[in-house]
Amino acid sequence: VAPAACHIMRCLDVVDACRATLMVGFNRRFDPNFAALKARMAAGAIGSLEILSISSRDPSPPPLSYVRRSGGLFRDMMIHDLDMARFMLGEDIASVTAMGGSIVDPKIGAAGDLDTAVVIMQSNSGKVVQINNSRRASYGYDQRVEAHGSKGMIRADNQHETTLEIATETGYSRDKILDFFLERYAAAYERELDAFVGAVTAGRKPSPDGHDGLKASLLADAADESWRTGKRIEL
Amino acid sequence: VAPAACHIMRCLDVVDACRATLMVGFNRRFDPNFAALKARMAAGAIGSLEILSISSRDPSPPPLSYVRRSGGLFRDMMIHDLDMARFMLGEDIASVTAMGGSIVDPKIGAAGDLDTAVVIMQSNSGKVVQINNSRRASYGYDQRVEAHGSKGMIRADNQHETTLEIATETGYSRDKILDFFLERYAAAYERELDAFVGAVTAGRKPSPDGHDGLKASLLADAADESWRTGKRIEL
Amino acid sequence: VAPAACHIMRCLDVVDACRATLMVGFNRRFDPNFAALKARMAAGAIGSLEILSISSRDPSPPPLSYVRRSGGLFRDMMIHDLDMARFMLGEDIASVTAMGGSIVDPKIGAAGDLDTAVVIMQSNSGKVVQINNSRRASYGYDQRVEAHGSKGMIRADNQHETTLEIATETGYSRDKILDFFLERYAAAYERELDAFVGAVTAGRKPSPDGHDGLKASLLADAADESWRTGKRIEL
Amino acid sequence: VAPAACHIMRCLDVVDACRATLMVGFNRRFDPNFAALKARMAAGAIGSLEILSISSRDPSPPPLSYVRRSGGLFRDMMIHDLDMARFMLGEDIASVTAMGGSIVDPKIGAAGDLDTAVVIMQSNSGKVVQINNSRRASYGYDQRVEAHGSKGMIRADNQHETTLEIATETGYSRDKILDFFLERYAAAYERELDAFVGAVTAGRKPSPDGHDGLKASLLADAADESWRTGKRIEL
């Protein structure tokens, strides 16, 4: 168990001992489109889930000073996608394999991190997951989820800045997608705060809780270890 | 000049005499997508505008009691599209022709109104406009603008309830579009209020003003007359 | 009755007298997408048709020499859309109104023709039709049909040169649509020839026949007359 | 080296010794959309390629009799995607990791094969690739390629049976995508035959050649081994 997870476990013990209310900020669970995707799957829209694909690309890399203390791409960026996988699967992950490198900026590699990564995982019941991350996307904050199941496929696409389409002698064009998390997840943050306040007010345990945070963190550790060792990590 | 326009003219005189601040609620001018469409045209995206096409369809007809006192489809519904035409053209209309009938509900026809209408118009400089209206659209509140120009075409599409797409053995499906004006024009209403408050605060004349309201009203009168007489109406 | 229609009627008499096999080249009826649109309507996809919208724009104007002897835009270009309207409606047209001008090239106006036109029509049962034509579309050969009915809307979109989409810092882009009739209607021409050969081989009367040609020609005459006189033409 | 690759190497020796003309049937290289995607990348559309994503899903599983003698999913199905990766990357693969299982049909698992698979690979220069395969897609033959680069993203989408879109009270719908390889790759097969005949006629060496076949086969062997052992395979 990596140091970060150790710290988290100790924190969770304190939270339990104090009967404190803890909600972890996995904001994407509250995105109306991703939440609707999960609800449609639960309603049977694609039968039984078989392949989950998550694309998650930032518009541009963070400053190197952040990279050095962030814990690395798996822990500061992909952790949201790892939580998304657990959220969509409704079950835990059994094994993780990662590949990647510092393609965007070699200085990120020199700082011991990577900026481009792909991960494949398998859940306890055998469903497969693929995730790709990049620290650079010229066209905006690329956040997509696609689920393939026994009866079909469902996907949540990005949101463009406008609904405009322009056709000229060079072809058809649409605007970029929303630029970064404050714009893209504005509705998610609002719903997330509502959920937290609602839980506190009602005396309910909020979700996602600290154990969801811990599990995502352990997945990030596993992906990081797989990337560094070239081995498949079993959880 | 129809009675409604007479009343409006007298109102505008009073407004002028009192130096009152008047802004007319043509909310669609403030829709971010329609406003962006106009801005792109102004920036040269499609060259010189030649054909303007407006589709505007309500999800379902209003109650008959409303139909009887609304002034009719041209004055209570298409008036927004007639203003949109003036807004996008940046000039006034020279001639109007209308056709239509009560296809959705014969009771609307019995009340002296129509529920399905098409209008073509020509601007002072010769640009052409086509508008279609229906009081019924099973798939939501259909509000689209398309402009064709010397260098290309630009259009503003509807907004769907989510960005989801589902593929099954029956094909690919997306959600309906936003249901009616409160949902679809939420951002427009907010921006419209900002514009009004901003104008009042700054002591500026707000836009659209009473004369925009009058001109749209005269166009609605002309469309109504054309529909009733079968004649092209020159303004 | 205009001279062209007179000639057609005499031709049809000769065709009947000789028991000759005649099929008129309204190729668009055989376009797989338009044919599918009609079939879906017949199968009830949108309930009862209420508004038919046809966009038909050529990539660029024909030579002036052609304009001078073509019979004009209504007879050489919009005639296909007028036939498409009859094909989709499954009934005849009762009234026609046209507007337009020579916006693309004033020389076309000087030659007595127009290059940008909008037409609205009403069928015998009261359904409404809107058509727009332009002799210029920088983005390709724009050929779309949209039908709005009591239970929904169906439309046939253009075909792009490829299925590619590219996203960069300037936005998302797709290729132009197929450039002109030989590319766009390749499948239609093939199916049209099959239909003709099939009819001849089987001794069946082919469709569309000479009377479809005559009716489209009379509609083109009516649109032309409406454009020149500003009057609604009843058929 | 697996037996299949051994056989291929001996075949290639014979081909060389006989100076025979050999072209390998990787038909997807000739698909107009995938070929255009590669050409646009070569022209700089997305800068330098960083992440290549390939989705490849059959409409339904083959008969078990075929599964038993096909060499397995990696050798009979994913081999096309492995070749596509080499084709798009323009370089060779350095390492491969696979995961998957028999989710679609346990009988496929009992036959020693899998029906759902994900693979991640890294090229000699460090670019990453992700592939997902399923033997079942209710919505047709799902064949997509997406490339993410330093300056943007490019993707080739599926082709739908028609360009129709229908909107009703249940939402918007489009037709399924083309059902299987004969329909989807009709243009590719035609271009592939042209390339072969052209090469033979001109006395040129055709492409892809036997060594492309061997390399794809070695990748399939590596993916299969990775799936069976849980290890990353270096090539």
Looking at beta carbons, which residues of chain A come within 8 Å of B164? 33, 36-37, 40, 154-157
Task: Work out the average pLDDT over A32-59.
Answer: 98
Report the range of poorest mean pLDDT among A135-144, C14-23, C185-194. C14-23
Q: How crowded is the C-beta side of C187, counted as CA atoms within 13 Å?
A: 10
Cβ of D170 within 8 Å of Cβ of B170? The answer is no
Nearest CA in chain D to A226: D232
pLDDT tens digits along C23-55: 999 999 999 999 999 999 999 999 999 999 999
Distance from CA of C8 to the nearest CA of B (A): 29
pLDDT tens digits along B87-135: 999 999 999 999 999 999 999 999 999 999 999 999 999 999 999 999 9
Reported as a pLDDT band with limits 50, 70 and 90, residue A4 is confident
Nearest CA in chain A to D103: A50
pLDDT of residue B120: 98
- Say if CB A208 and CB A26 are below 8 A apart: yes
pLDDT cut 70: percent of chain B above it: 99
Cβ of D50 within 8 Å of Cβ of A103? The answer is yes
Nearest CA in chain B to C103: B50
Cβ of B167 within 8 Å of Cβ of A153? The answer is yes
Reported as a pLDDT band with limits 50, 70 and 90, residue D1 is low
Length of chain D: 235
pLDDT tens digits along C217-226: 999 999 999 9
Distance from CA of B230 to the nearest CA of A (A): 36
Encoding tokens for residue B103? 């296809």
For B33, the 3-state DSSP assignment is helix
Average pLDDT, chain A: 96
The answer on pLDDT for D149 being more than 90 is: yes
Q: SS3 letters for chain A?
A: CCHHHHHHHHHHHHHHHHCCCCCCCCHHHHCHHHHHHHHHHHCCCCCCEEEEEEEEECCCCCCHHHHHHCCCHHHHCHHHHHHHHHHHHCCCEEEEEEEEECCCCHHHHHCCCCCEEEEEEEECCCCEEEEEEECCCCCCCEEEEEEEECCEEEEECCCECCCEEEEECCEEEECCECCCHHHHCHHHHHHHHHHHHHHHHHCCCCCCCHHHHHHHHHHHHHHHHHHHHCECEEC
Looking at beta carbons, which residues of chain A come within 8 Å of B45? 166, 168
User: What DSSP line would sit under chain D, residue for residue?
Assistant: --HHHHHHHHHHHHHHHHT-------GGGG-HHHHHHHHHHHTTTTSSEEEEEEEEE-SSPPPHHHHHHS--HHHHTHHHHHHHHHHHHTS-EEEEEEEEE--S-HHHHHTT--SEEEEEEEETTS-EEEEEEES--TTS-EEEEEEEETTEEEEE---BS-SEEEEETTEEEEPPBP-SHHHHTHHHHHHHHHHHHHHHHHTPPPSS-HHHHHHHHHHHHHHHHHHHH-B-EE-
Distance from CA of D131 to the nearest CA of C (A): 19
Cβ of A162 within 8 Å of Cβ of B45? The answer is no
Average pLDDT, chain B: 96
Distance from CA of C201 to the nearest CA of A (A): 43
The answer on pLDDT for B233 being more than 90 is: yes
The answer on pLDDT for B5 being more than 90 is: no
β-partners of residue D177 are D160
Reported as a pLDDT band with limits 50, 70 and 90, residue B6 is confident
CA angle D174, D177, D178 (to 5 degrees): 140
Pick left, alpha or beta for residue B103 (phi over 0 → left; psi -120 to 50 → alpha; otherwise beta): alpha
The answer on pLDDT for B2 being more than 90 is: no
**Is C46 near chain D, with CB under 8 Å?**
yes
Looking at beta carbons, which residues of chain B come within 8 Å of D55? none
pLDDT tens digits along A118-127: 999 999 999 9
pLDDT of residue C154: 98
Average pLDDT, chain D: 96
Cβ of A173 within 8 Å of Cβ of C175? The answer is no
pLDDT tens digits along D188-206: 999 999 999 999 999 999 9
Nearest CA in chain D to C37: D164
DSSP secondary structure code for residue C105 in this structure: -
Scanning A157-186 for CB atoms below 8 A from C yields 160, 167-177
pLDDT of residue A1: 61
pLDDT tens digits along A187-227: 999 999 999 999 999 999 999 999 999 999 999 999 999 99
Distance from CA of D71 to the nearest CA of B (A): 29
pLDDT tens digits along A146-182: 999 999 999 999 999 999 999 999 999 999 999 999 9
Cβ of B152 within 8 Å of Cβ of A166? The answer is yes
Looking at beta carbons, which residues of chain D come within 8 Å of A104? 50, 150
Looking at beta carbons, which residues of chain D come within 8 Å of B139? 167-169, 171-172
Chains touching chain A, criterion 3+ CB pairs below 8 Å: B, C, D
Chains touching chain C, criterion 3+ CB pairs below 8 Å: A, B, D
Cβ of D119 within 8 Å of Cβ of A121? The answer is no
Distance from CA of A140 to the nearest CA of C (A): 8
Least CB–CB distance from C152: residue in D33, D152, D167: D167
The answer on pLDDT for B1 being more than 80 is: no
Q: Which residues contact D48 (CB under 8 A, 6 or more apart)?
A: A103, D149, D150, D151
Task: Work out the average pLDDT over C175-180.
Answer: 95
pLDDT of residue C1: 61
pLDDT tens digits along D32-42: 999 999 999 99
Least CB–CB distance from B166: residue in A154, A159, A165: A154
**Is D33 near chain C, with CB under 8 Å?**
yes
Looking at beta carbons, which residues of chain C come within 8 Å of A175? 171-172
**Is A139 near chain C, with CB under 8 Å?**
yes
Cβ of B148 within 8 Å of Cβ of C127? The answer is no
Q: Which residues contact B165 (CB under 8 A, 6 or more apart)?
A: A154, A155, A157, B172, B173, B174
pLDDT tens digits along C145-162: 999 999 999 999 999 999
For C134, the 3-state DSSP assignment is strand
Substitution target in D151, D166, D184, D191 with the highest count of C β-carbons within 10 Å is: D166
**Is B40 near chain A, with CB under 8 Å?**
yes
Least CB–CB distance from C166: residue in D40, D166, D168: D40
pLDDT of residue B7: 87
Reported as a pLDDT band with limits 50, 70 and 90, residue C3 is confident
Least CB–CB distance from A173: residue in C138, C160, C172: C172
- Say if CB C113 and CB C106 are below 8 A apart: no
pLDDT cut 70: percent of chain A above it: 99
Residue showing tokens 């792109």: B40
**Is B32 near chain A, with CB under 8 Å?**
yes
Structure pTM? 0.95
Interface confidence: ipTM more than 0.85: yes
Distance from CA of D155 to the nearest CA of B (A): 17
The answer on pLDDT for B145 being more than 90 is: yes
